[in-house]
Amino acid sequence: MQQPTRIGGIARWHLLFGLTFAALGMLLGIYMAISHNHVERPAHAHVMLLGFVVSTLYAIVYQVWLKATPVRLAMVQTICHQLGALVLSLGLVLMFGGVLPEAQLEPVLAVGALSALAGVLLMIFQVLRVAQERDAPAAEAVLPGAV
């Protein structure tokens, strides 16, 4: 059986986390529909979009474009995005559910938002880095016979 590459493993983690967010977000959506109480709508939207959709897109980007990216960088990116999505989603659920006051949750939401932002910035960095490496002319093309 073919072993997954290490970047394939990172892509799989994004996909697994994304699908878990999908299941939890759908449960929240079903709860809103049954209770006829849509107060958690923004929390549901972010679990579904930042948690499920963005994580799944990252999984695809790793699989298709970032096979040559350093694994450590990819791991840091994964932690930033997944932690950000989790903290932001939980914070929004607690805030819109009225469990904790907004003033107490604001720093938590800020940490989640900045962590998710770091995740997308690291993604941009990796895409640019891999594209630059691919576009750089090989030494032999510049200096024929040099290598």
Residues that bind ligand HEM (CB under 6 A): 26, 29-30, 32-33, 38, 41-42, 44-46, 48-50, 52-54, 88, 113, 116-117
In the complex, residue closest to ligand HEM by CB = 29
If the CB atoms of residues 117 and 128 are measured against ligand HEM, the closer one turns out to be 117
Residue reference for tokens 């960095």:
125
- Alpha-carbon span 106 to 77, nearest angstrom: 23
Please identify, using beta-carbon distances, which residue of 60 and 142 lies nearer to ligand HEM.
60
Dihedral angle at the C-alpha atoms of 4, 9, 10, 12, nearest 10 degrees?
Answer: 100
CB of 131 to ligand HEM, least distance (A): 23
Of residues 110 and 143, the one with the C-beta less far from ligand HEM: 110
Q: Which residues contact 59 (CB under 8 A, 6 or more apart)?
A: 11, 12, 14, 15, 18
**For ligand HEM, the closer CB: 54 or 80:** 54
> Least distance to ligand HEM from the beta carbon of 56, Å?
9
Please report how close the Cβ of residue 60 comes to ligand HEM at its closest, in angstroms.
15
Give the CA angle between residues 81, 114, 133 to the nearest 5°. Answer: 55
Say which amino acid occupies 2.
Answer: Q
Q: How far is the CB of 121 from ligand HEM (least distance, A)?
A: 11
Q: Is 147 helix (H, G, I), strand (E, B) or coil?
A: coil
